[in-house]
């Protein structure tokens, strides 16, 4: 059996109350100097560690935060986006000596009991949620419950609900403008799961908006509905290449689909960017030198964690919503450096 506070008290010849005070350094002025010293020594000697369960039961604080990932299929941490966000979360709570409790749920095999239990069981002090904005028992329970939480990459029309997100719209606008500056006019778009992902929808709207604004009419057949998988990126390419009026550039709603598109193009013997420019979104690590939009995922995780922590510790909240800027990262698949090199050649 593990050492309890009682054992320490007995050995020190004091009451458990006194031991508790020196362990937690709370009301410590109520403990005499010598007693304190003595207890501290015995603490080390016996190797005492407070029982989290007992303490949690009494204080209603666990120093655990839950991180829940929802996705269509069981989420995989091999997804660079998720793992980067998680890294940010870990970085923050590492500093604060909190524990991270992870859970992944699939929207397909909804078993509300499980995650609702997670909310209500008193296991965690708060929740970080990465999930598409679908209707579900989970979000209802979250809203009704007293547990603090912060949504990640998930905007919500509610002043009281905390979330962090990035400026999707700006990212797409930058990309389109960049492609236009390289001379492209026929720019196709591969969309994500619009029915589930607000991010995806925002990006699509941004694409339509900026195309129109730039005088490049939006054409139905220039948009392909993908599902965030490389395979769907490949299918998009097949569809685009069948068109009479083929695009000269493709923007994908995320990097996975961009990667899939490039693979398919190469498989068909086409060169990227010479025959087709391709841009992505997310800036996941890859060796394809993808031109893409960077999101500060690590920072988003970190800041979300911080917002949650502020709630848990009842610090004043500076803001309930936080938007992070995106940044267009120009690499090779858009053709920028190709064009530059050509220009140089002509000079000579």
Partner DNA sequence: TATCGTTATCAAAGCGCTTATGATTTCTTG
Partner DNA sequence: CAAGAAATCATAAGCGCTTTGATAACGATA
Minimum CB distance to its own copies smaller for 211 or for 308: 308
Element (H, E) at 328: strand 327-329
CB of 24 to its own copies, least distance (A): 13
The burial class, CB within 10 Å (0-12 / 13-18 / 19+), for 341 is exposed
Binding positions for DNA, rule: CB under 7 A: 1-2, 4-6, 13-18, 20-21, 23-24, 26-27, 29-36, 48-51, 54-55, 57-59
Minimum CB distance to its own copies smaller for 126 or for 222: 126
Residue 118 contact among its own copies, DNA, none, beta carbon within 5 to 8 Å by kind: its own copies
How many helices (H) does the chain have, and how many strands (E)? 13, 12
Q: DSSP string spanning 67-88?
A: EEEEESSPP-TTSHHHHHHHHH
- By CB under 8 A, the count of residues binding its own copies is 45
Minimum CB distance to DNA smaller for 48 or for 70: 48
Q: Are 131 and 85 in contact (CB under 8 A)?
A: no
Q: Are 291 and 332 in contact (CB under 8 A)?
A: yes
* HSE-CB of 237 using CA atoms within 13 angstroms: 25
Distance CA 247, CA 184 (A): 9
Residue 84 contact among DNA, its own copies, none, beta carbon within 5 to 8 Å by kind: its own copies
Cα radius of gyration rounded to whole Å, the chain: 27
Site for its own copies in 245-284 (CB under 8 A): 259
CB of 49 to its own copies, least distance (A): 4
Contacts of 142 (CB under 8 A, 6+ apart): 119, 127, 129, 149
Residue 47 contact among its own copies, DNA, none, beta carbon within 5 to 8 Å by kind: its own copies
Distance CA 326, CA 315 (A): 28
CB of 185 to its own copies, least distance (A): 29
Q: Is 10 in the site for its own copies (CB under 8 A)?
A: no
Residues that bind its own copies (CB under 8 A): 2, 47, 49-54, 56-57, 62, 64, 74, 76-78, 80, 83-84, 86-87, 90-91, 94, 97, 99-104, 114, 116-118, 120-123, 146, 259, 285-288
């Amino acid at each position: 059996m593990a050492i309890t506070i009682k054992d320490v008290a007995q050995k020190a010849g004091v009451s458990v109350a006194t031991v508790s005070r020196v362990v937690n350094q709370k009301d410590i002025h109520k403990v005499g100097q010598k007693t304190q010293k003595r207890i501290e020594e015995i603490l080390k000697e016996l190797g005492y560690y407070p029982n989290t369960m007992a303490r949690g039961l009494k204080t209603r604080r666990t120093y655990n935060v839950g991180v829940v990932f929802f996705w269509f299929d069981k989420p995989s941490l091999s997804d660079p986006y998720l793992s980067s966000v998680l890294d940010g979360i870990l970085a923050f709570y590492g500093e604060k000596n909190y524990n991270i409790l992870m859970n992944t749920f699939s929207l397909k095999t909804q078993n509300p009991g499980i995650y609702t239990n997670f909310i209500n069981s008193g296991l965690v002090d708060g929740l970080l949620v990465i999930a598409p904005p679908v209707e579900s028992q989970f979000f209802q329970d979250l809203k009704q419950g007293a547990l603090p939480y912060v949504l990640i990459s998930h905007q919500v029309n509610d002043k009281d609900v905390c979330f962090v997100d990035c400026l999707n719209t700006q990212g797409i606008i930058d990309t389109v403008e960049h492609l236009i500056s390289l001379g492209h006019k026929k720019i196709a778009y591969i969309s994500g799961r619009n029915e589930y992902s607000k991010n995806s929808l925002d990006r699509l709207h941004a694409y339509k908006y900026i195309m129109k604004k730039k005088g490049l009419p939006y054409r139905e057949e220039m948009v392909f509905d993908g599902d965030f998988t490389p395979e769907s990126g490949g299918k998009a390419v097949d569809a685009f290449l069948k068109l009479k009026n083929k695009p000269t550039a493709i923007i994908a709603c995320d990097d996975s689909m961009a990667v899939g598109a490039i693979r398919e193009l190469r498989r068909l013997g086409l060169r990227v960017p010479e025959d087709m420019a391709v841009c992505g979104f997310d800036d996941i690590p890859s060796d394809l030198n993808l031109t893409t939009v960077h999101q500060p995922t690590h920072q988003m995780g970190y800041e979300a964690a911080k917002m949650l922590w502020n709630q848990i510790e009842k610090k004043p909240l500076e803001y309930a919503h936080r938007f992070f800027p995106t940044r267009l990262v120009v690499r090779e698949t858009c053709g920028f450096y190709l064009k530059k090199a050509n220009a140089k050649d002509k000079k000579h």
